[in-house]
């Protein structure tokens, strides 16, 4: 689990992907090909490159990744890409392609890509060391040889970007878990590293709940005890083994890039092909029935709990409780036009503007009003885990029967359960299925859409 504090990989890694693709395509000038074959080569290069990078985890380079591991990734990518390009060379037997040109092309590509990748890798280290930026503030719970090694790693490797704040000797019993939790919040600690050997099961459970409800990263130094969690990630910091509480698909830059690409394509398509002509028509009906603006905007909580304005078509008469009271069945505030808009989910379409702005995703946990978020964050365990990803226009919970008004606390818990399952098991295919089912429900009418 990650709060996202101090990370720039969301922007950097997609940028590196773009640079690599530009290098791969630009270097094809070295290959003599008929004009009608070039588009085929370009498509082949793009498709094969993305397939290889996903399988090779080529862009999964973290702050604790070593230069040796980086070189290993480059060499493995070189071998795989060489095989793919020679396969193309074999397919095009009827086209006069010189073998020497293929070799020159591959050499040029990988010298350039290696130069960029290693250069950025070293620049980031200098950036952290000299300017003290891109830091993750960390504390360690437990004092023993393993935690001492970890503390030494943090202190002796400033280039990795970890700022060691404090180590708690749990055997002294001079600090309670409540004291530690207060310290984490007051000192803006990003990551908590725990020695499992020095914590009881009840204490581990308390820390897990605290970390998830406050969007803090929790990791463990393993020993002989067992940890039961669905998405354990096992890594090495130097020679110290580390267990991460939860490894999420969205932690991978390739997945974030693919999801953002899907969002942008869908947002542009809906805005240009639907909203461009639908907005004037709906605006006329809204204004004719009741005075007020065509659009309704409301502050909601998004990624990492940050607030943003969520856009909708106005479906209610102007009222003072619009930002504090959820809509209920047969709500008298809803206009006749608004009832149709809500039943068909058309009122949600302006949120594609939020998607294009990067505040929302097409699929994700539905965002709540700020007051509702504060209410349920205090009452419902793990409610804040929903904010580890961008909120969505639709989501797994919505197509599973938990749309609209939350009539009981059990409804909220089930919605959170579906949202967490989505976050932990995300895939592009899952998003496509959710979008398809949302469209079917919108056309057939959802009983909970009011």
pLDDT tens digits, one per residue of 253-281: 778 888 998 999 999 999 999 999 999 99
Q: Is the pLDDT of residue 8 over 60?
A: no
Q: What is the pLDDT of residue 227?
A: 45
Residue 145 lies in a domain: yes
Q: Is the pLDDT of residue 169 over 70?
A: yes
CA atoms of 439 and 426, how far apart (whole Å): 19
270 and 353 together in one domain: yes
Domain end, chosen from 131, 159, 176, is at 131
- For the ranges 101-105, 205-209, 314-318, the lowest mean pLDDT is seen at 314-318
Confidence of residue 241 (pLDDT cuts 50, 70, 90): confident
The alpha carbon of residue 110 and the mean position of all alpha carbons in its chain are separated, in whole angstroms, by 29
Domain end, chosen from 89, 105, 131, is at 131
216 and 314 together in one domain: no
Q: What is the pLDDT of residue 398?
A: 87
291 and 436 together in one domain: yes
Name the residue with tokens 């209410």.
Answer: 375
48 and 188 together in one domain: no
Residue 364 neighbours by CB under 8 Å, 6+ apart: 389, 390, 391, 392, 395, 422
Q: Is the pLDDT of residue 97 over 50?
A: yes
Nearest to 368, CA basis, from 318, 406, 330: 406
116 and 163 together in one domain: no
Nearest to 352, CA basis, from 272, 431, 270: 270
Residue pair 400/368 in contact by the 8 Å Cβ criterion: no
Confidence of residue 447 (pLDDT cuts 50, 70, 90): low
Look at the chain and report how many structural domains it folds into. Answer: 3
Residue 4 lies in a domain: no
Name the residue with tokens 């709500």.
Answer: 331
Rank 214-218, 241-245, 308-312 by mean pLDDT and report only the highest.
308-312
Residue pair 360/393 in contact by the 8 Å Cβ criterion: yes
113 and 171 together in one domain: no
Domain end, chosen from 113, 131, 149, is at 131
269 and 200 together in one domain: no
Nearest to 286, CA basis, from 243, 242, 338, 237: 338
Q: Is the pLDDT of residue 140 over 90?
A: yes
Percent of the chain at pLDDT above 70?
88
Distance set, CA 419 to CA 344, 386, 402 (Å): 23, 6, 10
Distance set, CA 116 to CA 15, 69, 139, 188, 221 (Å): 11, 16, 33, 33, 34
3-class secondary-structure state, position 17? helix
Burial of 140-178, coded b for 16+ CB within 10 Å and e otherwise, reads bbbbeebbeebbebbeebbbbbbbbbbbbebeeeeeebe
Distance set, CA 325 to CA 51, 142, 311, 406 (Å): 48, 46, 17, 12
Residue 270 lies in a domain: yes
Residue 450 lies in a domain: no
71 and 121 together in one domain: yes
Three-state DSSP string of 118-145: HHHHHHHHHHHHHHCCCCEEEEEECCCH
Tell me the sheet residues that pair with 35. none
- For the ranges 235-244, 268-277, 278-287, 308-317, the lowest mean pLDDT is seen at 235-244
210 and 291 together in one domain: no
Mean residue pLDDT of the chain comes to: 84
Q: What is the pLDDT of residue 9?
A: 52
Q: What is the pLDDT of residue 405?
A: 63
182 and 279 together in one domain: no
Radius of gyration of the chain (CA): 26
State the DSSP H helix or E strand holding residue 355, giving kind and residue range, or none if neither.
helix 351-356
Residue 185 lies in a domain: yes
CA atoms of 250 and 283, how far apart (whole Å): 37
Nearest to 233, CA basis, from 58, 1, 417, 10: 1
260 and 242 together in one domain: no
238 Rama class: left (phi>0) / alpha (psi -120 to 50) / beta: left
Q: What is the pLDDT of residue 5?
A: 41
Joined tokens for residue 395: 């989501």
Per-residue pLDDT, averaged over 8-34, amounts to: 83
Residue 3 lies in a domain: no
Nearest to 372, CA basis, from 405, 332, 348: 405
Q: What is the pLDDT of residue 265?
A: 92
Percent of the chain at pLDDT above 90?
29
CA atoms of 400 and 405, how far apart (whole Å): 14
Q: Which residue has the higher pLDDT, 237 or 418?
A: 418
Joined tokens for residue 440: 């079917």
164 and 96 together in one domain: no
Confidence of residue 175 (pLDDT cuts 50, 70, 90): confident
CA 132, 215, 307, 377 torsion-angle sign:
negative
Confidence of residue 25 (pLDDT cuts 50, 70, 90): very high
Q: Is the pLDDT of residue 26 over 70?
A: yes
Residue 171 lies in a domain: yes
Joined tokens for residue 27: 């270097």
- For the ranges 6-20, 162-176, 210-224, the lowest mean pLDDT is seen at 6-20
Residue 119 lies in a domain: yes
Q: What is the pLDDT of residue 232?
A: 63
3-class secondary-structure state, position 394? strand
Name the residue with tokens 């480059």.
Answer: 74
Range of the domain at 219: 136-247
């Amino acid at each position: 689990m990650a709060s996202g504090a101090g990370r720039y990989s969301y922007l950097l890694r997609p940028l590196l992907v773009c640079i690599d693709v530009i290098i791969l395509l630009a270097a094809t000038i070295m290959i003599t090909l008929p004009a009608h074959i070039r588009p085929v080569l370009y498509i082949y290069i793009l498709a094969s490159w993305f397939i290889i990078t996903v399988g090779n985890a080529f862009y999964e380079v973290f702050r604790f990744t070593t230069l040796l591991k980086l070189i290993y990734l480059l060499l493995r990518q070189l071998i795989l890409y060489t095989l793919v390009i020679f396969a193309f060379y074999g397919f095009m037997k009827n086209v006069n392609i010189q073998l020497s040109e293929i070799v020159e092309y591959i050499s040029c590509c990988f010298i350039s890509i290696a130069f960029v990748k290693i250069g950025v890798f070293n620049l980031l280290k200098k950036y952290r060391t000299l300017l003290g930026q891109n830091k993750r503030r960390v504390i360690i719970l437990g004092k023993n040889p393993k935690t001492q090694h970890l503390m030494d790693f943090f202190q002796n490797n400033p280039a990795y970007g970890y700022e060691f704040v404090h180590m708690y000797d749990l055997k002294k019993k001079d600090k309670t878990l409540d004291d530690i939790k207060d310290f984490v919040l007051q000192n803006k600690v990003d990551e908590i590293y725990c020695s499992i050997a020095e914590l009881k099961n009840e204490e581990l459970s308390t820390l897990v709940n605290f970390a998830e409800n406050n969007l803090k990263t929790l990791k463990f130094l393993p020993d002989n005890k067992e940890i039961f969690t669905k998405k354990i990630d096992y890594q090495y910091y130097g020679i110290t083994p580390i267990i991460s509480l939860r490894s999420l698909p969205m932690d991978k830059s390739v997945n974030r890039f693919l999801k953002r690409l899907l969002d942008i394509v869908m947002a542009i398509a809906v805005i240009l092909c639907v909203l461009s002509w639908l907005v004037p028509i709906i605006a006329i009906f809204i204004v004719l029935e009741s005075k007020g603006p065509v659009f309704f905007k409301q502050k909601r909580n998004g990624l990492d709990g940050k607030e943003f304005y969520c856009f909708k078509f106005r479906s209610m008469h102007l009222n003072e409780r619009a930002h504090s009271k959820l809509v209920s069945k047969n709500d008298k505030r809803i206009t006749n036009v608004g009832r149709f808009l809500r039943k068909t989910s058309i009122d949600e379409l302006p949120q594609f503007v939020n998607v294009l702005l990067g505040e929302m995703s097409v699929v994700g946990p539905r965002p709540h009003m700020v007051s509702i978020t504060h209410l349920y964050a205090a009452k419902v365990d793990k409610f804040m885990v929903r904010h580890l990803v961008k909120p969505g226009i639709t989501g797994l919970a919505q197509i599973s029967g938990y749309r609209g008004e939350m009539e009981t606390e059990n409804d909220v818990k089930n919605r959170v359960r579906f949202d967490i399952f989505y976050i932990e098991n995300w895939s592009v295919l899952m998003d496509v299925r959710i979008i398809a089912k949302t469209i079917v429900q919108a056309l057939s009418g959802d009983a909970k859409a009011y």
